[in-house]
Amino acid sequence: MIIVLRPGTGEKEVKHVEQLVLAKGLKTHTVIGEGMTIIGCIGDTTSVDSRLFEVEPCVEKVMHVQEPYKLVNRAFHPEDSVIDVSGVKVGGNHLALIAGPCSVESEEQVIEIARAAKKSGANLLRGGAFKPRTSPYAFQGMGERGLEILCTARKETGLPIVTELMSLEHLELFDEKVDLIQIGARNMQNFDMLKHLGQTKRPILLKRGLNATYEEWIMAAEYIMAAGNENVILCERGIRTFESYTRNTLDLQAIPVIKSMTHLPIIIDPSHAGGKWWLVEPMAKAAVAAGADGLMIEVHNDPANALCDGAQSLKPEKYDALIQAITKIAPVVGKQV
Amino acid sequence: MIIVLRPGTGEKEVKHVEQLVLAKGLKTHTVIGEGMTIIGCIGDTTSVDSRLFEVEPCVEKVMHVQEPYKLVNRAFHPEDSVIDVSGVKVGGNHLALIAGPCSVESEEQVIEIARAAKKSGANLLRGGAFKPRTSPYAFQGMGERGLEILCTARKETGLPIVTELMSLEHLELFDEKVDLIQIGARNMQNFDMLKHLGQTKRPILLKRGLNATYEEWIMAAEYIMAAGNENVILCERGIRTFESYTRNTLDLQAIPVIKSMTHLPIIIDPSHAGGKWWLVEPMAKAAVAAGADGLMIEVHNDPANALCDGAQSLKPEKYDALIQAITKIAPVVGKQV
Amino acid sequence: MIIVLRPGTGEKEVKHVEQLVLAKGLKTHTVIGEGMTIIGCIGDTTSVDSRLFEVEPCVEKVMHVQEPYKLVNRAFHPEDSVIDVSGVKVGGNHLALIAGPCSVESEEQVIEIARAAKKSGANLLRGGAFKPRTSPYAFQGMGERGLEILCTARKETGLPIVTELMSLEHLELFDEKVDLIQIGARNMQNFDMLKHLGQTKRPILLKRGLNATYEEWIMAAEYIMAAGNENVILCERGIRTFESYTRNTLDLQAIPVIKSMTHLPIIIDPSHAGGKWWLVEPMAKAAVAAGADGLMIEVHNDPANALCDGAQSLKPEKYDALIQAITKIAPVVGKQV
Amino acid sequence: MIIVLRPGTGEKEVKHVEQLVLAKGLKTHTVIGEGMTIIGCIGDTTSVDSRLFEVEPCVEKVMHVQEPYKLVNRAFHPEDSVIDVSGVKVGGNHLALIAGPCSVESEEQVIEIARAAKKSGANLLRGGAFKPRTSPYAFQGMGERGLEILCTARKETGLPIVTELMSLEHLELFDEKVDLIQIGARNMQNFDMLKHLGQTKRPILLKRGLNATYEEWIMAAEYIMAAGNENVILCERGIRTFESYTRNTLDLQAIPVIKSMTHLPIIIDPSHAGGKWWLVEPMAKAAVAAGADGLMIEVHNDPANALCDGAQSLKPEKYDALIQAITKIAPVVGKQV
């Protein structure tokens, strides 16, 4: 941490700020430049609130040098983490192919989609039982009955299941029944929930918040890991920008950046990002070419009658063609399908 | 709702889309323009997922005409709502002046600040007991003990208290002890929490999410009201933009816009928006001049040793000077202090 | 400038980076912390491209300490600059009140609006002769004829005129005839134009680009000043955010921030920011309360038939009421109308 | 265009708005729904300023149905445009590989880089002679001498050249000497410049502004085409978002969206987007997989001593490896290298 003092700060004030730093258990190293003095703070600054020093009138600004994250940090864990989701490996040279409907609507629907997706190459089944909806008047999901349907579909197809947890009162149920617990973008900084996710060892699929910086996102992962659960997979699903033609802007730079900052796997959800089915195919290919560890794609056998987000769902035959293309791109970047 | 068809759409496809609309219980009114056909959908579209129609290949886009919100809508409730917070009126021509430390740190601290703030004119006391922090290693607040301290300060000063609810397991406790329950920006779309807030009649202070549109924000209020609690106050606290010199960008246009869309009171938190104490004073004055129903300001007697956000806190004497200036501006816009 | 090295960087690499810094005419001061080494660079770094050092594999990041601007910097010019626009003072405790139609449409129109605005208290007349339009098919302004009409209106009313320069081929003409030359948001980083503006001594009204950071904006002012023209007034007119209900988001925090960074006057354009006439009044009051040095407001005698932006124009009677309110707010913040 | 009226609008007001619409040469079609009346406007609305109608107190909002662009519109020109850049085809199934240094620094430098890039597969040479720099104190490029060096390099290697036009006073020179004239992000809405670009038939490489919507970007292309030059290639180079770890956020969804809206080629510049050399490789691969018509990549033989943007330049050997990978991905999406 570096404290930059305002031009003209006197010796006495410099000493005062140094004392404040020392009181936090850090060492100081002061550099006097041309018309500018800075105080370097040496030691573990992870739990020091740097904004405190900004209160001093002589302090111009405080700059961070050290990353505030530890457990997710690649610097301390150079190899890729590979997460085991009930036998399916995510990370390293593996490619996770998560497919399924936005919402669980019926047993027949889910099983039909799951079978088709598996045939195309999908290795994990998604489906929303509890749905986060902007409007209280919109379909909120089938709830626990939806979860049972997913379990049946798993039994029928052998695909482990992924579904979103909306409320802590269901955590125990999810821990028992769900293979990969999804935390949605809107709960990425629901810190109370993040802390409780450390009580399970179930893998967590942590979606990026719509306006979360890379650092905030991985700090959310750090919360889960610090609470005891190391099985975290990150999922980019589009961020909010000024552009409104697409639902969100898919940030594929997140792939190399997250892999540089952390050792965790990162998968891409092109369905929610663009919000239009015809954007899914090109963006899925791009994600794999950029080195993503997996894809999460909405597949629906009857998009026109889907209860939610049909506009962004692929029909099974389009999904099949996509996976075929991806099978050709993956080896170029060292991934196996 | 209006469905715009692609140029060249045939009669048969038009009929097909009309059938889809009729199946949702709406009536259709189709207009054939020069090289463009649109289908007007007449009826209550609040619970119809318009994106469904986008699945049809002949549909170019679907445009919303009707607002998706009802209970918060000024169109159906033309007068300003005035919320009673344990005797303090918020809304109409009243000005709520909420002041206090970011975090509760000790009984002495809170009482000293509360007394000073009250003397300056504050009519509500704020203080964080449970703190949302980006880092799991940062101070997380005093918890239930902090809440007790706030209750003691209320007893000492008579000021009703405002504090943030982070977890539903504390809802009952808050319902019993807190005068105005604050929901933070990061929980604005924690839909599970919003639904449960309808179980109490306690006034809710609903902060705007960092990237929430006006519509999403008031849909969050609609969630609470639809669940049974009509006592909602909105709070703008800055949105995230590309500018990083300030913590967030304070959006004061929110004041007239929210007052046009809804009948709910809106207050402004200039402390969190800018993140720097010297921005609080000009922005607080601006907020009142723009017609805000109140101000939520961090006041600390010893900012340099605050456990959280000292950099954005005003000292009591600066707060006092600010309230004096505001007392002159408020009558110009029809507010009484 | 501070260069942060990656953990584990060896002594030889540290020396190598130090050599690179010395080669730029700077001195170095290296601090070795726990698992982290930083190199402080001492001297004038204004013209050093810091990103160069990022090329080195051992460099984690480069952080700026010194501001890259000099002539606009309040640190080197503590008093407010007051700019003289043909006798009207802008800055200090003066309040510039710029009013007029979006586009010049006819002599009668401009003179009628100018007279009404002057009667209400306006001291500068605005009007677009050359218009920046997103579409090549939209009305592009009356051009030189429009400029003549503005000159006639000035003669009739005594109000100095403000109008936008779109092309350098008109610079000489503007230098001769216009009192305050406006540079629009879209040309804020037209560096070729900025350099040429130093050839005149005419005051320049430099609008903030829709996505310009504070630093970029004042660096644009630095361009003009470095080229020889010190008469620069800044104008905030809304930035682009994710919110699309309003045309742009008005950033009033810009007022105290710009006044802290620079000694230049800053005025606010609430008409373009919100894009709706009913947002102008509350935002204009807010701007004055926040300490703005002036307001630029669109006034039109017949908004429904305006050739451009009628939706954001005030009728003269509404403008009059607004100025009356502002006359009461201005003294509270030390401004005289 | 659809005009939505406020609830409760009377028959007389409806008639009045209809009259306004008819006066613009459009036909009306009014639909009266439950508690809501809308007026459909039929005819060519391209040159009608829809915001005019918003002035009427009874108008809630005006919604656009028709696209405001014609010449770039794929609806009227279904096949891909293929632009000929001095013999190199851009668009269709061709892949443009533009490479070279950020700035022209010397003849030796440019020729060495050009030879290496050509050997790897590049078919166009880039290099900045006139540089847009945020600071007036930064290196502004070699100017006309730089342009001469590019011409020499073209003679030596046979590669057509691409370079940025900063000022209209150089348009004639560029028209004569440059194969593909680049317009930078900051000049994308320099409407005066766009109009003049119609005076040449030289292909134009139009970069997307940092905060330009898709529609604004293609309207800028429409300006050039409406002025007489049909040879426009679009270039995505990253947009500005809240994330500041990367210089900008690369928006690869732009590829399918632009191809859906227009018939113009679109190429990607991953160097400027991320601002870090190690992001170039994954993003270049992703761009090709998403269907881009080309890549514009900074290559430098000595990044550590580059005069500009060395941090985002690839060394020739890394560029060579990248092109080899791309050669494998391109055929999967129907492109030939």
The whole-angstrom separation of Cα B283 and Cα B268 is: 9
DSSP letter (8 states) at residue C92:
T
pLDDT at D310: 79
Q: Which candidate from B52, B191, B210 shows the least CB-CB separation from A132? A: B191
pLDDT at B211: 96
Residue A212 · residue A183 · CB < 8 Å: no
pLDDT at D129 over 90: yes
Number of domains in chain A: 2
A195 and A264 share one domain: yes
Of the candidates A113, A168, A126, A105, which has an alpha carbon nearest to the alpha carbon of residue A272? Answer: A126
pLDDT at B47 over 80: no
Domain final residue pick, C29, C63, C97: C63
The whole-angstrom separation of Cα A320 and Cα A101 is: 15
Quick: pLDDT tens for A112-121.
999 999 999 9
Asked whether the beta carbons of residue C249 and residue B255 sit closer than 8 angstroms, the reply is no
Residue B283 · residue B275 · CB < 8 Å: no
Pairing relationship of beta strands D266-268 and D232-236 according to DSSP bridges: parallel
Quick: pLDDT tens for D291-333.
999 999 999 998 877 877 778 899 999 999 999 999 999 999 9
Q: What is the overall mean pLDDT for chain C?
A: 94
Three-state secondary structure call for residue B309: coil
Q: Which candidate from C213, C252, C332 shows the least CB-CB separation from B283? A: C252
Q: Which candidate from A215, A239, A286 shows the least CB-CB separation from D241? A: A239
Q: How much of chain D exceeds pLDDT 90, in percent?
A: 77
B positions 36-95 inside 8 Å of D (CB)? 36, 38, 40, 42-44, 63, 65-66, 75
Residue D167 · residue D193 · CB < 8 Å: no
Could you report how far apart the first and last alpha carbons of chain B are, in Å? 44
The whole-angstrom separation of Cα D224 and Cα D199 is: 9
How long, in residues, is chain C? Answer: 337
Has residue A6 been placed in a domain?
A: yes
Instruction: Provide the pLDDT confidence category of residue A252 given band limits of 50, 70 and 90.
Output: very high
CB under 8 Å to D326, separation ≥6 — which residues? D95, D284, D285, D288, D295, D337
pLDDT at D36 over 80: no
pLDDT at A49: 79
A/D interface, count of CB pairs below 8 Å: 116
Chain centroid offset of residue B135 CA: 24
Per-residue exposure over C12-35, b if at least 16 CB sit within 10 Å of its own CB, e if not: ebbeebbebbeebebebbbbebee
Quick: pLDDT tens for D148-162.
999 999 999 999 999
Q: What CATH number should be reported for the domain holding residue C31?
A: 3.30.70.1140
Asked whether the beta carbons of residue C135 and residue D275 sit closer than 8 angstroms, the reply is no
A32 and A175 share one domain: no
Q: Which candidate from D38, D42, D75 shows the least CB-CB separation from B40? A: D38
Q: Which residue is associated with the tokens 């159906």?
A: B76
Asked whether the beta carbons of residue C243 and residue B214 sit closer than 8 angstroms, the reply is yes
Q: Which candidate from C44, C65, C75 shows the least CB-CB separation from A4? A: C65
D25 and D164 share one domain: no
pLDDT at D315: 95
Has residue A71 been placed in a domain?
A: no
**Tokens at A124, concatenated:** 């994990």
Asked whether the beta carbons of residue C38 and residue A33 sit closer than 8 angstroms, the reply is no
Chain C closest CA to A325's CA: distance in Å? Answer: 34
Instruction: Provide the pLDDT confidence category of residue C337 given band limits of 50, 70 and 90.
Output: confident
The whole-angstrom separation of Cα B240 and Cα B227 is: 29
pTM of the model: 0.95
Instruction: Provide the pLDDT confidence category of residue C8 given band limits of 50, 70 and 90.
Output: confident
Has residue D69 been placed in a domain?
A: no
Chain centroid offset of residue A11 CA: 47
Quick: pLDDT tens for C133-190.
999 998 899 999 999 999 999 999 999 999 999 999 999 999 999 999 999 999 999 9
Amino acid at B144: E
Query: Does C329 reach chain B within 8 Å, measured CB to CB?
Result: yes
Rounded to 10 degrees, what is the CA torsion of D268, D272, D273, D275?
140
Q: What is the overall mean pLDDT for chain B?
A: 94
C59 and C116 share one domain: no
Instruction: Provide the pLDDT confidence category of residue A139 given band limits of 50, 70 and 90.
Output: confident
Quick: pLDDT tens for B156-181.
999 999 999 999 999 999 999 999 99
The whole-angstrom separation of Cα C102 and Cα C128 is: 6
Indicate the range of A171-175, B159-163, B226-230, C72-76 predicted with least confidence. C72-76
Chain D closest CA to A135's CA: distance in Å? Answer: 21
| Residue D57 with chain B: CB contacts under 8 Å | none
Q: Which domain holds residue A238?
A: 77-333
Three-state secondary structure call for residue C190: coil
D203 and D290 share one domain: yes
Quick: pLDDT tens for D49-71.
777 788 888 888 888 888 889 99
Chain A closest CA to C69's CA: distance in Å? Answer: 15
Instruction: Provide the pLDDT confidence category of residue A53 given band limits of 50, 70 and 90.
Output: confident
B23 and B105 share one domain: no
Identify the bridge partners of residue B251 per DSSP, sorted by sequence position. Answer: C251
pLDDT at D229: 98
pLDDT at B121: 98
Of the candidates C187, A238, A274, A268, which has an alpha carbon nearest to the alpha carbon of residue D249? Answer: A238
The whole-angstrom separation of Cα B158 and Cα A88 is: 60
| Residue B75 with chain D: CB contacts under 8 Å | 7
Q: How far is CA C242 from CA A247, C27, C153, D107, D238, in A?
A: 11, 44, 40, 45, 16
The whole-angstrom separation of Cα A232 and Cα A223 is: 11
C208 and C131 share one domain: yes
pLDDT at D317: 96
- The count of other CB atoms within 10 Å of the CB of residue A221 is 24
| Residue B213 with chain C: CB contacts under 8 Å | 242-245
CB under 8 Å to B96, separation ≥6 — which residues? B85, B88, B90, B123, B124, B233, B265, B267, B293, B294, B295
The whole-angstrom separation of Cα C292 and Cα C195 is: 27
Domain final residue pick, B63, B84, B105: B63
Of the candidates D114, D133, D259, D149, which has an alpha carbon nearest to the alpha carbon of residue D184? Answer: D133
pLDDT at B63: 87
Has residue D312 been placed in a domain?
A: yes
pLDDT at D148: 98
Quick: pLDDT tens for D79-105.
999 999 999 999 999 999 999 999 999
Residue B310 phi/psi, 5° resolution? -60, -30
pLDDT at A307: 79
D52 and D158 share one domain: no
Domain final residue pick, D37, D63, D89: D63
CB hemisphere CA count around A262 (13 angstroms): 28
pLDDT at C36 over 80: no
Has residue C216 been placed in a domain?
A: yes
Q: What is the overall mean pLDDT for chain D?
A: 94
Query: Does B275 reach chain A within 8 Å, measured CB to CB?
Result: yes
Q: Residue C16 is inside which H or E element, if any?
A: helix C11-22
Q: How far is CA B23 from CA B194, C94, C103, in A?
A: 31, 64, 49
Indicate the range of A167-171, A266-270, A304-308, B226-230 predicted with least confidence. A304-308
Instruction: Provide the pLDDT confidence category of residue A64 given band limits of 50, 70 and 90.
Output: confident
Residue D278 · residue D312 · CB < 8 Å: no
A/B interface, count of CB pairs below 8 Å: 125
Instruction: Provide the pLDDT confidence category of residue C69 given band limits of 50, 70 and 90.
Output: very high
The whole-angstrom separation of Cα C94 and Cα D293 is: 55
Chain D closest CA to A25's CA: distance in Å? Answer: 29
Phi/psi class of residue B25: alpha, beta or left (left: φ > 0; alpha: ψ in -120 to 50)?
left
Q: What CATH number should be reported for the domain holding residue C176?
A: 3.20.20.70
Amino acid at B254: A
Residue A265 · residue D254 · CB < 8 Å: no
Amino acid at C313: S
| Residue D40 with chain B: CB contacts under 8 Å | 31, 33, 38, 40
Alpha helices for chain B (secondary structure H)? 11-23, 107-120, 144-157, 171-177, 191-196, 214-226, 254-261, 270-274, 277-289, 316-329
Instruction: Provide the pLDDT confidence category of residue C7 given band limits of 50, 70 and 90.
Output: confident
pLDDT at D44: 82
Amino acid at A35: G
Asked whether the beta carbons of residue B257 and residue C239 sit closer than 8 angstroms, the reply is no
Asked whether the beta carbons of residue A43 and residue C33 sit closer than 8 angstroms, the reply is yes
C51 and C79 share one domain: no
**Tokens at C317, concatenated:** 């009677």
pLDDT at A309 over 80: no
A222 and A257 share one domain: yes
Quick: pLDDT tens for C301-336.
988 778 877 888 999 999 999 999 999 999 999 998
The predicted model gives C31-46 an average pLDDT of 81
Q: Which candidate from B29, B34, B211 shows the least CB-CB separation from D42? A: B34
The predicted model gives A49-70 an average pLDDT of 85
Q: Which residue is associated with the tokens 């590049």?
A: D122
Has residue D205 been placed in a domain?
A: yes
Could you report how far apart the first and last alpha carbons of chain C are, in Å? 44
pLDDT at D159: 98
Q: Which candidate from A132, A222, A276 shows the least CB-CB separation from B136? A: A222
pLDDT at D210: 96
Quick: pLDDT tens for C223-240.
999 999 999 999 999 999
A58 and A88 share one domain: no
Could you report how far apart the first and last alpha carbons of chain A are, in Å? 44
Asked whether the beta carbons of residue C31 and residue A42 sit closer than 8 angstroms, the reply is yes
Has residue B260 been placed in a domain?
A: yes
pLDDT at C130: 96
Indicate the range of C18-32, C79-93, D180-194, D316-330 predicted with least confidence. C18-32
Q: What is the overall mean pLDDT for chain A?
A: 94
C178 and C116 share one domain: yes
Phi/psi class of residue B91: alpha, beta or left (left: φ > 0; alpha: ψ in -120 to 50)?
left
Has residue C69 been placed in a domain?
A: no
